[in-house]
Structure 1
Amino acid sequence: MSSDFQVGRVALGVRLRELRADAGLNGKGMAERLGWQRSKVSRLENGKQTATADDLDAWALAAGVPGEAADLKSRLRGLESQQRSWRRQLASGHRAVQEKYVAAYRDTSAVRGYEATVVPGLFQTPRYARHLLVHNAELMRSPRDTDEAVRARMNRQQVLHEPGRAFRVLVWEGVLYARFCPREVMAGQLDRLVGVIGASTAGGGVSLGVVPFSAQLTLSPKHGFWIFDEERVVVETINTEFQLEAADDVALYGRVWDRLDESAVHGARAHRLVARARAALHVA
């Protein structure tokens, strides 16, 4: 459990204790009013147990301040959204971050992802990945461990071939044209995507779709995100990685993915979009 999470849980417990005391109740009285064991009240107030939304509704009602439930649940959502600074994560270079993702994918059975600006790491070629990692190291002023980071990113791709896993990935068509590397490197990357699309049409655990520029959308493409086992969402910004675990947040991102998928094309139609972008490079 992260220290930030525990600090937040203790702070929530302090607030619960304040509401209970303001109601003129001791721990035993609060437990009786709630119909709980006294030990549960103690664990919640001392940050030893994470409250549920229903717990917080009941607590506010028992304390005579039902209007406080919204604030309490907001604090709970704050616990379930973990923020990790890239500056801290990259303090020793990119390799450790890539290895963290390898472990995350190996602990996951079903992944839904969407990227709006870059080819997903699961499908990157080594040369494409190298250019991205070099650019990011320069931007973040982090240590250069590019060779090790590229190898770790390629190791992550091994999960694509493991049985019992499902990867359903979407990309915005702009990804096919955003060049962070020389033309010939981008051409090789697009060739790799053709292979991924071919594999997805042949069946198996990997599916890649493209949201075309011409698609009729019901929402704007916005930022990329990844949903792991319908339990956790990872969102990357320029300076921070957010891990969202609140059920409402996971459900929201699931609905966004569903809407994007409704506008996406797969199979031969996706292949034509990649081929068009490949032709625009004018590389043999």
Structure 2
Amino acid sequence: MPISPSSSAQAAREAVAHRLRDLRADAGITGPELAARCGWSHPKTYRIEGARTPPSADDIRRWCDACGAAGQADDIIVQSRHAESMYVEWRRRARTGLKQLQNSYVPLFKSTKHFRVYSPTLVPGLLQTEGYALGLMSSITTFRDIPNDVAEAVAARLERSRILHEAGHRFSMVIEEPALYYRLGDNDAMAAQLGYLLTAGALPSVSLGIIPTARPERPMWPQELFHVYDDALVSVELLAARVQVTQPSEIALYIKAFEQLRSMAVYGADARALIVKALDTLR
């Protein structure tokens, strides 16, 4: 069964839902009875207990009062807020444009010794050239209807990528071969990007693997884009949010997935041959 990219956040939400459900069960009241005491429809009770609707602070206080457990309300409110904070909304983070979003990663990058990056569809940000990043960020800005600071954001991304040349960091990157073909710029921009991959893949600190589309057998199916920072944090990028995974058992799961994906990739001359093949399609 596929790994859920929001597993940590969803598990935290479900823990809140289970705690509220247990309070109701311990009080010996049914869902409709609790709804009547709280002043809402009984489907809302089931949505909260099923972790489909996150409860507000007022919902939690009413729930605890109805179950004779008002003293637990503050603790559950804190637990619920923590669960919701595990989802980092892109629109909120990018509300002032993309430059701020790029710069927000700098402290994490500086403190990380070993970067593991898996990308099924894009050239990893640390390896992006100016033209490619410009095409990508222009699309993001238009799609999300956020302030247009693309030029500044691209400059911030390129500046951030200088860490590739700083001592004390290792970069293990794995991409799927189709990422070499998705056009996020004109032919010149794509040619420059693919050409840079040939150079960057030879850096002493960088291990760049490419999983061939024609690989005969896959022990690990394609995953969502994720980054592993040392063994302390996994960042999973979704369309609507960036999910941060901090639970050790789940970090270990992503590292296991990364190692399997890494074992399927080709490196060195074989990887360069795939890049050159993609370059040939631009001519």
The 1-side partners of 2:129 and 2:188 are apart by 12
* Identity in percent: 34
Q: CA deviation at 1:198?
A: 2.1
Partner in structure 2 of residue 72 of structure 1: none
CA deviations over 1:141-173 (Å, ceiling 9, x no partner): 000001110111011111111111111000000
Aligned partners of 1:232 and 1:244 also within 8 Å? yes
**Residue matched to 1:213:** 213
Q: Are positions 1:120 and 2:124 aligned together?
A: yes
Secondary structure of the 2:201 match is helix
Supply the distance in 2 between the matched residues of 1:244 and 1:146 (Cα, whole angstroms): 28
Equivalent position of 1:142 in the other structure: 146
**8 Å contact kept, 1:231–1:247:** yes
SS in 2 for 1:198: coil
Counterpart residue number, 1:37: none
Residue 36 of structure 2 aligns with which residue? none
The within-5 A match list for 1:66-215 is: 79=83, 82-199=86-203, 204-215=204-215
- Bigger mean CA deviation after superposition, 119-128 or 101-110: 101-110
Unaligned runs of 5+ in 1: 23-43, 51-74
Q: Is the 8 A contact 1:130 1:150 kept in 2?
A: yes
Look up the SS of the partner of 1:192 in the other structure: helix
Secondary structure at the counterpart of residue 147 of structure 2: coil
Residue 255 (structure 1) aligned with residue 259 (structure 2): no
Amino acid paired to 1:174:
P
- The count of aligned residue pairs is 221
How far apart, in 2, do the equivalents of 1:269 and 1:255 lie?
24
Q: Deviations over 1:244-283 (max 9, x none)?
A: 001121011111111111110011100000000001111x
Matches of 1:136 and 1:99 in 2, distance apart?
17
Q: Deviations over 1:168-191 (max 9, x none)?
A: 000000010011111111000000
Cα RMSD over matched residues?
Answer: 2.8
Query: Is the CA contact 1:225–1:235 (under 8 Å) kept in the aligned structure 2?
Result: yes
Distance in 2, matches of 1:273 and 1:182, equals: 20
Q: Deviations over 1:34-79 (max 9, x none)?
A: xxxxxxxxxx9975xx9xxxxxxxxxxxxxxxxxxxxxxxx89x84
* Structure 1 position 210, deviation (Å): 0.4
CA displacement at 1:90 relative to structure 2: 1.1
Structure 2 gap segments, 5+ residues each: 1-8, 27-71
Quote the offset at 1:222 in angstroms. Answer: 2.3
**How far apart are residue 239 of structure 1 and its match?**
1.1
**Range 81-90 or range 150-159, more displaced:** 81-90
SS state at 2:227 partner? strand
The answer as to whether partners of 1:85 and 1:240 remain within 8 angstroms in 2 is: yes
Output the CA distance in 2 between the equivalents of 1:142 and 1:46: 36
Whole-angstrom distance in 2 between the partners of 1:162 and 1:177: 30
Distance 2:276 2:222 in 1: 22
- Whether the 8 Å contact between 1:81 and 1:246 is mirrored in structure 2 is no
**3-state SS of paired residue (2:86):** strand
- The amino acid that maps onto 1:206 is V
Partner of 1:61: none
By how many angstroms is 1:243 displaced? 0.4
CA contact (8 A) 1:235 1:243 kept: yes
Distance 2:85 2:267 in 1: 33
Could you tell me which residue of structure 2 aligns to residue 267 of structure 1?
A: 268
